[in-house]
Structure 1
Amino acid sequence: MSEHTCTMLLAGRQATIDGSTIVCREEDYGNEFDPQRFVLVHPADQPDHYESKGSRFKTDLPKARYAYTATPDADDSAGIFAAGGINTANVAMSATETITSNARIRAVDPYNVVDGIGEEDFLTLVLPYISSAREGVKRLGRLLAKYGTYEANAVAFGDHEEVWYMETIGGHHWAAVRVPDDAYVIAPNRFNIADFDFNSPTTMCSPDLKQLIDDYHLNPGRTGYNFRLIFGSASNQDQVYNNPRAWYVQSRLGGGRSGSRPTDYDLPFACVPTNKLTVEVVKQVMSSHYQDTTFDPYQQKTGQRAPFRSIALNRNLELHVLQIRNGVAKAIAGVHWLAFGPNTFNALVPFYANVTDTPAAYRDTSNQYTPTNMYWLVHTVTALGDRYYRQSQPLAEQCSEDIMAITRHCQLVTDRQGQVTPADLTAANDQMATVAVNRLTKLLGQLVGMTFKKEKLQY
């Protein structure tokens, strides 16, 4: 399993409380630190010529381009890994979700391990050049067909009307499904697209994909085309690493299959939630670790391994909720909600995307420990909070709620100003970042005071 393993949640505009579309993903890494930055890439900063670090891929890029937000690695020696962002055409993209494959499709269409493209490249090669979610699927599809990929990944695109979920297939093929307007999708690190209709206006794929399946006898199903069955995995690893995350979120948000179990492979792809989704609820499920079940790691005995992999982990790098709002001016429609660090202890902030720059505490992340950087501040809070979880949990939850309430109010005030410039939105983002830094610093002080009283060197 790749170190960049994540969890994705998508929602159509009729599934959300305010009619916005949502493209959400939490980005994971290994147990080492991987500092993240929040940046605005201006058109002049986008390279004319691009070369990968993970392969020999290189290409010239179009001159016409949009500015866009992104959350790249602070250390770009292994590649940009821009992760997720919103461009000035109000198109959101998240890339990528590591998924699974199987030997049948990889034998027919092997990975291009020499000069293919991968996670490090996708967002940089696509987001600056698209004006809709559909265009994003088509552009990435053309790149995959031409250059191939060396790994299995899922990508999501959103605009003010549509959300599309796309998965790579083998080395040069792909498929995409439009998320139903009234539904959400929870996607762990497995192949997630299930039943696929080649004739539907809500699907897209490689032109020769059906013929490839039929010619090489790739479909074990008796009827239809279930892509999870055809192209995905059904391993013991899926039962403990992937399936339970989908099961838990579906059990919380509703719309899943009655009587399903955490280890089930055939959980639904898209579900209609019981209630319309809010960003707060999205944050809750993306911060989940099987609360209220016996699978919660915090309920295990000391030294006992948790039975299932949860969404919230010490390996969480950043959480983005890319929201394209309807019913507001285009200048303020794109909101790049962002939180750095482990989700159990971080806090989302609604940053406007149409800005001139990003807040310094999120932008200027150092590779060295610097507690004034948001990435390092949250990791410091987590290091103390995780050790005394029961005592710190209510403090962390209150902190997250306070930050969301205050920054949402700042957003409401800014929205009501009417005509706003990118400079105005940049100033609002700076104000919200200051709120988040100050409130999390206060939480850190509370945790230091709490843990200090538990020091063993007392007499």
Structure 2
Amino acid sequence: MKVIAVIGICLCIVTMSGFSVEACTTMLVGKDASVDGSTMVTHTCDGNYDARVRVIPGQDFEEGAMAPVYKDLCHDSIPGKEMKQAGEIPQVKHTSTYFNVGYPFMNEHQVIIGEDTFSGRDECFNDQGLMMIEMLQVFALQRAKTAREAIQVMGELAEKYGYGDGGETLTIVDGNEAWMFDIIGPGPFWTPDSGKSGAVWAAVRIPDDHVSMASNRSRIGTLDLNNPDYYMASANVVSFAEEMEWYNKEKDGEFLFWKAYNPDPYGAPYYQRRREWRVLSLLAPSLNLDPYLDPEKEQYPFSVKPDKKVSVQDLMTINRDYYEGTEFDLTKGLAAGPFACPNRYPTPKDVKPEYAKDTDWERAISIFRCSYSFVAQARNWLPPAIGGVLWFGEDAPHSTCYIPVYSGVLEMPRPFSSGSRSYYDKESAWWAFDFVSNFADLKFSYMIQDIKTVQQELEGQFFAMQPGIEAGALKLYEEDPQKAKVFLTNYTKNMAMLTLARWRALADELIYKYNDGYVNGKQVGYPTEWLETVDYGKTNVVPAK
């Protein structure tokens, strides 16, 4: 068996270019852990992904219809990486309306999905698998009305048709439950006619009064499959690990999914765990978690009870975090420059100092290369068209504005549903937010205050309007659900375009306010501490003879 594993590694090194590890962060909140009884889920999509939000209407199909299956759906807006049809599967009689983006995230039934990549063992990759993670999300959103159903749809399709992607985590909510779902491939020797499962997967429901998160490492451990209310898994979840000699019950004791399938997360030593520590510490500071936890000896808890009930605004704040006020604060130190910029760009190994070849900058939750992020809530006391609201932000979380997008929305405005990250498009909403984010890096400590002012102005307005908007939508829904959907569509489109117009105006304001390094035409220079650190003025001192 060890020989097979070694061969598998070699094959996978050749074939693994099919998936990305640009990385994301996602959070889950149970309904009894939130301030209003909603379940919540977040996602920061941290890489070059399709940021266009498009509503794909539900359809009815004739008996015998087939559904196309695509590769590279999440990169479709990137030239040269357009989606390609890889096959097809039998279509269902009716599909639900869903929202398509890099990683499709919501349907009309307020089933909402977040995502992050953990990659997992190379030996699990299989290039014959038909299903990529984003395609599983499409089918789940088209065919499921609950989070539990979504997991069952994805699990069954991946097992039958094969999973051809890297290890992935999905966080899934409906109005009642919050689940974490991990999936990985069946190894290079699986074929569609092998008679074996084409995927290995597991899912855990978090307690209703708990919160959880994932950041590029599998966090599912124990699986009590005798408790189907809280645990689900493929039939091979343990046996495949035993077959590959990654788990031995006598030697290892209790089976842990992450230990079998993702024992060595990619990246620098704390690339994943620092974010685990940060999210859990912000939500449950009383736990006093150790930021330097030794992964060989201990793990952070899979889920925790928060110290206080969690709001949408709390999760937005966490999405925007770069360790402010901690020893890892990215606005501090020489690397932040004179104006406390938290961004740290990827550094190739060949230019790293010898002592730091295998380490990296701290990895924040909010990161400059984010395509989009969201905070979403599902509420079981409202009709799904109204109860599901996803607060969507283009580009980096710290410099974006979150706009409300309801489950019942029928279309998005063109600037939010078109464009590409691969070429500048002044009509695209993404580029308006990306410009403000990039320009702010020039004088971050100043400009982020201007950005926060507009964020608070707009988001505060949206939150203040929310009760009235939803009351009006509910009244219309009782008359005719379609009228409510049209009303919410118009509201979402209007708020999206209002935000875009304000962001374009903000860009103009920043350009003239901070022109040539001045602030409204006044000299501000540099912080004294930074000047001292960089030996300011010493070249003008005559050396002693």
TM-score, length-normalised on structure 2?
A: 0.75
CA 270–386 in structure 1, closer or farther in 2 if over 3 Å, else same: same
What is the aligned partner in structure 2 of residue 154 from structure 1? 169
How big is each residue's C-alpha offset from its partner over 1:305-342, in whole Å with a ceiling of 9 and x where there is no partner?
67321111111001122311133333311112100101
What is the aligned partner in structure 2 of residue 397 from structure 1? 452
1:99 to 118, 126, 129: 118
What is the aligned partner in structure 1 of residue 275 from structure 2? 245
CA 213–248 in structure 1, closer or farther in 2 if over 3 Å, else same: same
CA contact (8 A) 2:220 2:258 kept: yes
Note the 1:172-321 alignment, pairs <5 A: 172-201=199-228, 202-214=230-242, 216-219=244-247, 222-234=252-264, 237=267, 239-254=269-284, 257-262=287-292, 264-265=294-295, 266-302=299-335, 307-321=361-375
Shift of 1:399: 1.6
CA contact (8 A) 1:24 1:319 kept: yes
How big is each residue's C-alpha offset from its partner over 1:367-392, in whole Å with a ceiling of 9 and x where there is no partner?
64233422111101001112211101
Give yes or no for the alignment of 1:42 onto 2:57.
Answer: yes
Contiguous gaps of at least 5 residues in structure 2: 1-18, 73-83, 187-198, 338-343, 345-359, 478-483, 524-545
Shift of 1:187: 0.3
What is the aligned partner in structure 2 of residue 74 from structure 1? none
Shift of 1:458: 11
Q: State the superposition RMSD in angstroms.
A: 2.8
CA contact (8 A) 1:407 1:435 kept: no
Give yes or no for the alignment of 1:58 onto 2:77.
Answer: no
Shift of 1:443: 2.5
- Identify which range, 147-156 or 362-371, moves more after superposition: 362-371
- Identify which range, 347-356 or 226-235, moves more after superposition: 226-235
Match of 2:272, SS state, is helix
Shift of 1:208: 2.9
Match of 1:297, SS state, is coil
Shift of 1:255: 6.3
What is the aligned partner in structure 2 of residue 125 from structure 1? 139
CA 194–255 in structure 1, closer or farther in 2 if over 3 Å, else same: farther
Return the alpha-carbon distance in structure 2 between the equivalents of residues 230 and 112 of structure 1.
17
Return the alpha-carbon distance in structure 1 between the equivalents of residues 265 and 391 of structure 2.
34
Return the alpha-carbon distance in structure 2 between the equivalents of residues 238 and 197 of structure 1.
32
Match of 2:310, SS state, is coil
Return the alpha-carbon distance in structure 2 between the equivalents of residues 179 and 341 of structure 1.
29
What is the aligned partner in structure 2 of residue 354 from structure 1? 408
Return the alpha-carbon distance in structure 2 between the equivalents of residues 199 and 458 of structure 1.
69
Shift of 1:50: 0.9
Return the alpha-carbon distance in structure 1 between the equivalents of residues 429 and 294 of structure 2.
38
Amino acid paired to 2:204:
V
Return the alpha-carbon distance in structure 2 between the equivalents of residues 249 and 93 of structure 1.
19
How big is each residue's C-alpha offset from its partner over 1:78-104, in whole Å with a ceiling of 9 and x where there is no partner?
xxx4x132212222223x41114236x
CA 45–458 in structure 1, closer or farther in 2 if over 3 Å, else same: farther
Match of 1:84, SS state, is coil
Which 4+ runs in 1 deviate beyond 4 A?
A: 44-48, 214-217, 303-306, 455-459
- Identify which range, 250-259 or 418-427, moves more after superposition: 250-259
CA contact (8 A) 2:24 2:215 kept: yes
CA 293–450 in structure 1, closer or farther in 2 if over 3 Å, else same: farther
Return the alpha-carbon distance in structure 1 between the equivalents of residues 437 and 238 of structure 2.
48
Return the alpha-carbon distance in structure 2 between the equivalents of residues 48 and 406 of structure 1.
45
CA 35–447 in structure 1, closer or farther in 2 if over 3 Å, else same: farther
Shift of 1:405: 1.2
Percentage of matched positions with identical amino acids: 23
What is the aligned partner in structure 1 of residue 13 from structure 2? none
Match of 2:238, SS state, is helix
Give yes or no for the alignment of 1:432 onto 2:495.
Answer: yes
- Identify which range, 40-49 or 128-137, moves more after superposition: 40-49
Return the alpha-carbon distance in structure 1 between the equivalents of residues 512 and 87 of structure 2.
52
Shift of 1:168: 0.8
Shift of 1:433: 1.1
CA 458–185 in structure 1, closer or farther in 2 if over 3 Å, else same: closer
What is the aligned partner in structure 1 of residue 39 from structure 2? 21
Return the alpha-carbon distance in structure 1 between the equivalents of residues 266 and 40 of structure 2.
31
Shift of 1:299: 1.5
